[in-house]
Structure 1
């Protein structure tokens, strides 16, 4: 479970709503303090029990690189409403939402796409389907197929308990004890409770099923030939670090191991994570412009 380092929005970050043909999405938008946008924008997609707030600690550092940076609540997550139809929460359906968001955010320019954990599986669908031109793609703490280890056990229990007992039960018996064991502040505890209970129960159960059962699409992703970064914590307990390293090798992608981080590098090591993203994004843009120039 990700826990934002702080809930007060830093200067330059504001809540917004983005209208798309797929619906309206709640986002946090970060802009350069100068107000001058010099580089291509970025879209950040959170994980299963997360939300846009999981990226709070990196938003302004990323925006300072001259970009508009958007962190989103997926359909059915926290402040983005969703229907009771389970079909709305498959990875392909959520990937179509990411496509729609990227096309609006980019306004004709390519967009850097980052997916954390389950968000990586969703974002991967958008890259593979080919409907949107992405400047780059980062898998952050996300693996080639269904999640493994302790988090797979937790995901299965969350899915079953949401379906049988509801969100209050999941909070009191699973997520609240975990938060208390991590000694989070009262403010963050209140936020985590509000966030969970605002989720669509249908969405949470269906997303949990997806993160457990997703099949390996690494070979398909490689064929897209979008610049790809695999970034993960040194002690990731979702997908094992060795599985993510192997995935990066199969993709021919760069990999970055974040020292000391577990499953949420943007929370646990924000400066290291942001620096790695900015460097990768700058390199991807330079490669694109060099390639375009050579083709002329």
Structure 2
């Protein structure tokens, strides 16, 4: 598959702006495959510098397993609106309330998946209100702040954004070869023109505010364990943003299912999409089976 095809939505998917009580959000909404038994709806939140396109390669295999998948650009990410310079609009609680509004607009309880930064926003949404969520999957998303090396790299990005335009920063990123967490524009799926378009569409205030969150996030695992629905911690076999042993420990503290995707690093959704989709669907199938048993 070409990198450009990886950026394009699946043939049966709809791209539209989801209207919510907190504004409109750009989504890719992919249906259950023809002939598959519908099992549930999934809402997927991308990471720092990412977008809904980071989940492109998961839609079809998850649809074949019976899951409708909705990937969303958060406030100020790529094709979703947001203020250019008002960082207060991107406070974590504001972004979490956006997620609750998105679920309300979908009109059904969902399996929530958050990649990296998206996982910490997903956690915050569950801590505000767990009721809309059937399950929570934290993908390559750790218990607290990112590693020291990644904090340093995010700081470099923030410093650049303080003095340069988004277009100028893009040129610097291309020249330097970006790290995992800052590197969504360069290492995500899609050809360079599409990736540049995504970068330029993202609001500087969103990057500044969420970059600070990644560098200062407290450990809220105990809070989450007290209220969370069924949890799943997924990662690649190597991750410099949150080391894998840290993710192992977090899963134990949550009482969560733990899946390590062989051959993947910080983005198993793009590095190894088929094993990642299989692990996600197996988890959701088990959650639904247990719920049916509890009701019987």
TM-score normalised by L of structure 1? 0.91
Compared with structure 1, are the counterparts of its residues 183 and 68 closer, same or farther at alpha carbon in structure 2 (3 Å cutoff)? Answer: closer
Contact 1:14 1:30 in 2 (8 A): yes
- Cα offset for 1:5? 6.7
The aligned counterpart of 1:30 is 30
Matched, 1:110 2:109: yes
Contact 1:5 1:57 in 2 (8 A): no
Note the 1:99-138 alignment, pairs <5 A: 99-105=100-106, 107=107, 109-130=108-129, 132-138=131-137
Aligned length: 288
- Cα offset for 1:35? 7.5
The aligned counterpart of 2:57 is 57
- Cα offset for 1:133? 2.3
DSSP 3-state at the match of 1:6: helix
Compared with structure 1, are the counterparts of its residues 185 and 117 closer, same or farther at alpha carbon in structure 2 (3 Å cutoff)? Answer: closer
Where does the alignment leave 5 or more consecutive residues of structure 1 unmatched? none
- Cα offset for 1:131? 5.8
The aligned counterpart of 1:8 is 8
The aligned counterpart of 1:67 is 67
1:148-204 deviations in Å (ceiling 9; x for gaps): 14322221111221122231232111245427x999799611111111111111111
Matched, 1:242 2:242: no
Choose the corresponding residue for 1:283, options 282, 286, 292: 286
- Cα offset for 1:8? 2.9
The aligned counterpart of 1:208 is 211
1:121-152 deviations in Å (ceiling 9; x for gaps): 00001111116421100000000011114322
The aligned counterpart of 1:189 is 192
Contact 1:12 1:32 in 2 (8 A): no
Mapped partners of 2:53, 2:15: distance in 1: 10
Matched, 1:271 2:274: yes
Compared with structure 1, are the counterparts of its residues 272 and 5 closer, same or farther at alpha carbon in structure 2 (3 Å cutoff)? Answer: farther
Mapped partners of 1:150, 1:132: distance in 2: 36
Where does the alignment leave 5 or more consecutive residues of structure 2 unmatched? none
- Cα offset for 1:4? 7.8
DSSP 3-state at the match of 2:66: coil
Mapped partners of 1:76, 1:150: distance in 2: 26
- Cα offset for 1:7? 2.2
Contact 2:36 2:65 in 1 (8 A): no
The aligned counterpart of 1:80 is 80
Mapped partners of 1:26, 1:85: distance in 2: 20
1:276-295 deviations in Å (ceiling 9; x for gaps): 000001111111222122xx
DSSP 3-state at the match of 1:174: helix
Contact 1:126 1:132 in 2 (8 A): no
